[in-house]
Structures are given as structure tokens and as C-alpha cells.
Amino acid sequence: MKSNQQQKSDENNSSNQKLTLLVKRYVDIIWYLGIATLIVWFFAIMVIGYSIPDNPDERHTDITFGLQFRVLPVGESLDADEQTNLSEIIQGTSNLKLNNTKSYLSWYVSNAIILISGLIGIWAWMFVRKIFHNLVNKEPFHERNQHYLYQLGLIIFISNLIIPILVYLGGLFIISDIGQFANHIKLFPAVEINVMSLFIGLALIILSKIFQEATTIHEEQSLTI
């Protein structure tokens, strides 16, 4: 007969395995939903973009993009220099929806950057899925898990350096293309770097190296036994 300690250990292992399997299912659901969303989004960009009229006066294109904005005091008689020196009422960065623009290329630029961000996200999620696949198969020290952790951390770290650059360049192009909408609202390209995501990416890279050492020790102990 099994001792009480052994029974508790088996129960904990069974509970952990059920939880791991549950998380794996959610990871799979997000994976398939992400792929489906990207496919639908790609065709939506093409179809909606194709339906935008060639005549700029007939266009009523809505563009959603991350931009910085300044809201200045309303002054009809203020010239450009005076507006530049004014202190803003509101300043911030947001995912702004610009309604009824006459832009054509900005539609593709803004949505292409969003699509690229989504592709990078689903690429990173692929490695999360592979890690949980090995965990469900009771292979936490699988030799590929270290590689998956490293790739995941690398993608998170590098993408959080590249995507802000893409958003900034996209913002420059969009503002240049559509212009400014009002004298008292000024739009600027957004410059935002997620320091926490950079830290998480770096932490995963370091963790992958530690995990590699743990895997090596586990393999050596298995051979010894």
C-alpha cells in the first residue's frame, strides 16, 4: 500500500497535470483564434482598401493608429508661432481613430503595421504552445524547451524595439498624408517603448540559459540512475 505522503504526491501531480492540460487548451484556443483573426484581417484590409474610391473627394476613410496629441486653447486669431508656444490643455498618447479622412495609402500603412504586430505576436505564441505541449506530455526537461524559451524571450525583446520604430515611422507618414485636422489639436508620431516587456524578454532569455543547465543536470542524473 502507498503511504499517505506518496498518495498526496500523486494527487498533487494529478492536479498539476489537469491544470497544465487546461492551460494548454486555452493556449490552443488563443492560437487558432489568433491565426483566424489575422487571416480575416488581411482579407478585410484588401477588400476595404479596394473599395475606397479613387477620387479623394469621395473618400471617407477611417484610420485607427497610435499617435501623440496636444489639445491647445482655442484661439482663432493665433498664428502658428503663437500656437507652438502655448501650453497644452491636454497631452497624451492614444490609439486615435481619425474619421472621414481622404487618405488612401494611410489605410494600408496603418493596417499593415497592425498586421505585422499581430504576426509577431502569433509567432511568439507558437513557442508558448510548444512549451505547453511538452509539459502536457510530462517532459518539462525536454531539450527543446530551453530553445523555445530563448526564442520567445528574443522575439519579445526585439519586437519591443522594432515595433515602436515602425509605429513612429508610420505616424510620420500618416500625419504627412492626412495633415492636421484642427488648429487647436496637434498630432505627432508616437514614441513609446514598453520597458516592462523588454525586461520580460530579457528575463526569459536568462531563464532559458538557467533551464539549459537544469536540463543538463537532469540528463546526467538520469544516466547515473
Report the b/e string of 200-222 with b at 16+ CB within 10 A.
bbeebbeebeebbeebeeeeeee
Choose the weakest-confidence range: 71-75, 141-145, 175-179, 187-191: 71-75
Average pLDDT, the chain: 84
What is the distance between the alpha carbons of residues 6 and 153, in angstroms, rounded to a whole number?
37
99 Cβ contact list (under 8 Å, min separation 6): 62
At 218 the pLDDT is 63
Looking at residues 180-204, what average pLDDT do you find? 87
Q: Which tens digit of pLDDT belongs to each residue from 118-144?
A: 999 999 999 999 998 888 888 777 778
Q: What percent of the chain has pLDDT over 90?
A: 42
User: Model-level pTM?
Assistant: 0.80
At 145 the pLDDT is 86
Looking at residues 160-181, what average pLDDT do you find? 91
What is the distance between the alpha carbons of residues 218 and 149, in angstroms, rounded to a whole number?
18
Cβ–Cβ < 8 Å for 20, 136:
yes
Provide the pLDDT confidence category of residue 91 given band limits of 50, 70 and 90: confident
- Boundaries of every domain in the chain: 4-54+100-178+194-224
103, amino acid identity: S
What is the distance between the alpha carbons of residues 71 and 148, in angstroms, rounded to a whole number?
45
What is the distance between the alpha carbons of residues 225 and 220, in angstroms, rounded to a whole number?
9
Per-residue cell: 87: 501650453
At 221 the pLDDT is 66
What is the distance between the alpha carbons of residues 209 and 213, in angstroms, rounded to a whole number?
7
What is the distance between the alpha carbons of residues 211 and 214, in angstroms, rounded to a whole number?
5
At 180 the pLDDT is 81
Q: Which tens digit of pLDDT belongs to each residue from 38-77?
A: 999 999 999 988 888 888 888 888 899 999 988 877 654 4
Choose the weakest-confidence range: 5-14, 86-95, 141-150: 5-14
At 76 the pLDDT is 47
